[in-house]
Amino acid sequence: DVKVTQSSRYLVKRTGEKVFLECVQDMDHENMFWYRQDPGLGLRLIYFSYDVKMKEKGDIPEGYSVSREKKERFSLILESASTNQTSMYLCASSPPRRRQYFGPGTRLTVT
């Protein structure tokens, strides 16, 4: 059974802090994705990665960066957290040309 885990279910950070959200998958998937989900807006793609050290911008990359140093791990970084980054963050992974598997999500609050 595919497992995608995220480092925290809930996180509270202050404005201006650097925030790391970690995602790990155990199925050797090539593709990994970071989304944010806000009420009424659905899932919006922040960044995705096809392979180690590869990254591509999604629809809303501003204010975020990512790191993929190992195949199983994809990190989302908020360099300087702002209140408008308060959201639910979902990680997903997939093999090539197959559907995505989602992690449980991290609810981030920036105060």
- Between residues 28 and 96, which has the closer beta carbon with respect to other proteins? 96
Cα–Cα distance for residue pair 110/99, rounded to 1 Å: 31
Q: What are phi and psi of 84, to 5 degrees?
A: -75, 0
Shortest distance, position 43 Cβ to other proteins, whole Å: 4
52 binds other proteins (CB under 8 A): no
Q: Cβ neighbours of residue 99 under 8 Å, at least 6 residues apart?
A: none
Per-residue x/- marks for other proteins, 29-48, CB under 8 A?
--x---x----xxxxxx--x
Amino acid in the structure at residue 56? E
Residues lying near other proteins in the complex (CB under 8 A) are found at 4, 31, 35, 40-45, 48, 50, 58, 90, 94, 96-105
